[in-house]
Structure 1
């Protein structure tokens, strides 16, 4: 559950720390006091997209901390998957800079927003003010039905078969393309293969050729340098000059003679001797190199011709040599596939028939789970809505089977009749705003028993509702909170009265700046706040007594 939320420099909240408890946590306050900022902060801490506009004016950054206790197994598994320290509690941190940059941390370790979203997916769900309107869109009904039916395993089994069927069908359609286009493609592939294979390309050849061309092009300069170095070491017979190696030999002889008389010179003589033998060995290597430098006059032309062939192929296909070889292999595989297409077509047709039959069976199992789920959900929804002061309500499911698709074979829409004697019709044509709020709460209540999420947040679920219906909403929220932590933002005293923990969000202006503060209310504070919600600014003894009675009757 969400145990603590700490906020700094988020919108009009300079600094606030909120502690939540198990059960029903109710947040109350005037419109514009900052209740939605809490929702924005929770969304941000869960790794959802945010904006620098969330940073308080004049501040360099906003910071949010959230502590979750008794986290579910699914979150433990995600922490282990991503390599984060696992513990009974989870600490999330989100920082948003005024320049739009930000960072996230999980148990003190850096994380990306995407990883935080994956980890926190099993922590809580938020029902926003406008989510109830989604009920008027039939596209959302199948998802709600699947949530209640708890048929994820059946769906995954079906979807795996469906994706295989789509892939095999795509390959079959490709093979069954017109014979003219098939022949044209075979000719194109054959020409490409012939051209690339004829070039006898190899990886690294181009670089080796370019290096060899450089050597040949500058061979005269290379030979002059080698000859000069060899002459300097070995001497030049033409002018009987002495080379450095011979001079080193003379120096070695002289120094060795001196070392016989002064032993301290022995190390120097040894070092000089190493230089001499190194110079002689180097002179020999240079002589070998000079002997090996034999350039064929036609080699440069051959290299240029070969490089031109490689260049033209690269330019023609827009690919490097390694990619050209890969393309040739792919062409050969495709050509082989086309050439054996008759056999493949028969194979793919058999696979398609088998997969289609299996997918239909899996889709039918999915359909039956949905129909069975609706029967149970319909019964539970009817009870919940009658409790929420919507007596005589009727639910129906408009169901049709269609072609296989990514979600199965079912097309569904929830229909509703809110008055006895009327046939059920689409929700968009029947339900008012207040009725939609109660219907959505009934859905959420029905799903709560099947949902492993420990925390559910309702942002003004009681919109458009008052009186008895509002009181019943509070009672249902309180019942739901027996198995889940519930956070609820409300303007309705009948709902707030059921709180196990009530928080007041209050906006003040000091020195021309707006500040929002969050206070946990004791019993006296709750009575006064509820009295304000009942009677407005003019709180009387009667409204105070009414507020106290409302709280006492709610527990």
Structure 2
């Protein structure tokens, strides 16, 4: 849910901080008070296009910040944030956006600088805004398959996973066949190039980890003198008359003479004896290491030359010797495929035919499951539309197979289905695509009916309705109010409304007002108590003058809303 919104120097808003609660929050007030500006601010926080026009006149920049609380650690926004390297602590996500008077934006998520594209990608999991003319998600047929799959839930995901695993193999085989089917001239050029690369790598006779071993050897030879001096001085410090071991031996002999007197002396004697023999053994190791040292300038030249050769190959074929050898094995396989192209093509096509049969079975199963959920969805939307007094409207999920230019079924990562929502708002009229059917008032109700269903499956934390109830009244207005409240049971809902019926259903009622001080307009937000709610709803009913009758009507609406919620 959106817990807090901070706005500074944005349009007519100088400075404003609003706390939001769960459930249904309505924003009401006179036209032009700044209700939609608050929604615009949330829209920009979620990644909408910004411009210098949003910056308050005379200011250098507008500052927007929103705190979202995500209780469910399985929410998809966690994975998205992890992919972008954004940490989420205590289930809190803070979106921040500064819009400069030049029009440029600076975006942050939990303090991390991000692009507008990333802000938009994260924002779409947090907030879903629907305005009177802003129903792109539902109107865009490209989203309809995704919405149906979300509605299908676990069963569709399982069928989709089974299909996609086979599709990946199918797609890889298609790419290999296409590569082998290129024209002769291109294939000959490719073969020459690969053969040259393979010869160059094989000629080098690389060994695993050779570069690391050679680098260590180079370091050893290059520091020969330093190592020799250190070993010689170390040995001379330990061995010889009046040297380290000699003095430790004297200490050992003296303690041995008194070790029988008490336990402490015995323990000291044993410890120094162990130290003596350990140092003696180490001195022999230092001497052996010193004797084995040999400076070979020819070997150093060879090692440096070999490292240069490996570095040259790394620039062309991989960052490490292992990557170069892996690349060598891969191109060797490709050379074999090109040289024996016909047999490989035959083998690959045979394998493709086999996979294609399995893919077709999984695609058919996926389509079958989608159709079953499409039928359930159709019935559910009809029920929702009936509650909104659109019982004569017919809804249908239209299925068509994706086709290639050769009029063959096209397998894609999401299956073979083209899905689009169709609608007929009048009896006797044919079903047509949703985007070409509904009028403005009808579209608001259709969108609300669909949103009340899809919001339960999309995981959006906050849904915003910006005057989607415009142009309705009476029983339809009451039905819309109840529908919006039902959506708020699954997600936080913020709603700008001019309908008293919707305002009466609110869990939280915010009144937006504007005033002029020192020649500048300022917007303020005030949470209403019960008495103030009655007065505001009465104003919405009566207009400018609030009468006792309109107050009584407001009380009746609130009582009706209370009963409806129960």
- Alignment pair present for 1:104 and 2:108: yes
Q: CA deviation at 1:142?
A: 2.0
**Compared CA separation, residues 331 and 141, structure 1 to 2 (3 A):** closer
Equivalent in 469, 477, 499 of residue 492 of structure 1:
499
Cα distance change of structure 1 residues 497 and 2 upon mapping to structure 2, 3 Å threshold: same
Contact persistence 2:86–2:109 (CA under 8 A): no
Alignment of 1:329-344 (within 5 A): 334-344=334-344
Q: Work out the CA distance in 2 between the residues paired with 1:50 and 1:168.
A: 45
Distance 1:344 1:7 in 2: 64
2:440 maps to 1:433: yes
Equivalent residues of 1:71, 1:123 under 8 A apart: no
- Residues 106 and 113, structure 2, Cα contact 8 Å, conserved in 1: no
Contact 1:433/1:463 (CA < 8 Å) preserved in 2?
A: no
* Distance verdict in 2 for CA 1:174–1:148, change over 3 Å: same
- 8 Å CA contact 2:51, 2:99 repeated in 1: no
Task: Give distance in 2, aligned partners of 1:48 and 1:101.
Answer: 11
Residue 164 in 1 paired to residue 169 in 2?
Answer: yes
1:554 is matched with: 561
Rounded Cα–Cα distance in structure 1 between residues aligned with 2:74 and 2:96? 22
Structure 2 residue 134 is the aligned partner of structure 1 residue 127: no
Distance in structure 1 (CA, Å) of the matches to 2:496 and 2:355? 50
TM-score of the pair, normalised by structure 1 = 0.69
Tell me the equivalent position of 1:41. Answer: 41
Judge conservation of contact 1:21–1:501 (CA < 8 Å) in 2. yes
1:479 maps to 486
What's 2:87 paired with? 84
Residue 441 (structure 1) shift:
0.9
Check whether the contact 1:135–1:436 (CA below 8 A) recurs between aligned residues. no
Q: 1:125·1:453 contact (CA, 8 Å) conserved in 2?
A: yes
Structure-2 change in CA distance of 1:59 and 1:542 (3 Å): same
**Aligned position for 1:541:** 548
DSSP 3-state at the match of 1:392: coil
1:155 and 2:173 correspond: no
- State how far apart, in whole Å, the 2-side matches of 1:46 and 1:429 are: 28
Change (3 A) 1:417 1:124: same
What is the deviation of 1:419? 3.1
Equivalent runs, 1:338-487 vs 2, <5 Å? 338-402=338-402, 403=409, 404-487=411-494
State the distance in 1 between where 2:35 and 2:469 align.
Answer: 15
**Structure 2 CA distance for partners of 1:525 and 1:191, relative to 1, 3 Å:** same
1:485-540 superposed Cα distances (whole Å, 9 cap, x missing partner): 21112222222221111112223232222212111122332233333333332333
Kept in 1: contact 2:46–2:127 (CA 8 A): no
For 1:423 and 1:148, the matched residues in 2 are separated by 26
The alignment of Structure 1 onto Structure 2 pairs a total of residues equal to 446
Segments of 5+ residues of structure 2 without an aligned counterpart are 206-210, 212-296, 298-311, 319-323, 403-408
Distance 1:345 1:468, change over 3 A: same
Give the alignment's TM-score, normalised by structure 2. 0.68
Separation (CA, whole Å) in 1 of partners of 2:382 and 2:99: 48
Query: 1 CA distance for matches of 2:532 and 2:479?
Result: 23
CA shift, 1:172, in A, is 0.2
Secondary structure of residue in 2 paired with 1:73: coil
SS in 2 for 1:396: strand
Distance 1:448 1:158, change over 3 A: same
Question: Match for residue 142 of structure 2?
Answer: 139
Secondary structure, in 3 states, of the residue corresponding to 1:127? strand
What is the deviation of 1:199? 12
Quote the Cα distance in structure 1 between the aligned partners of 2:514 and 2:164: 51
Check if 1:176 corresponds to 2:184: no
- Structure 2 vs 1, CA of residues 522 and 199 (structure 1 numbering), >3 Å: closer, same or farther? closer
RMSD value, Cα? 4.0
Aligned partners of 2:139, 2:316: CA distance in 1, in Å?
55
Cα separation, 1, equivalents of 2:19 and 2:519 = 29
Query: Are positions 1:94 and 2:96 aligned together?
Result: yes
Q: SS in structure 2 opposite 1:3? A: strand
Match of 2:5 in 1: 5
Counterpart CA distance in 1 for 2:70 and 2:180 is 56
Q: Which runs of 5+ in 1 are unaligned?
A: 205-291, 293-319
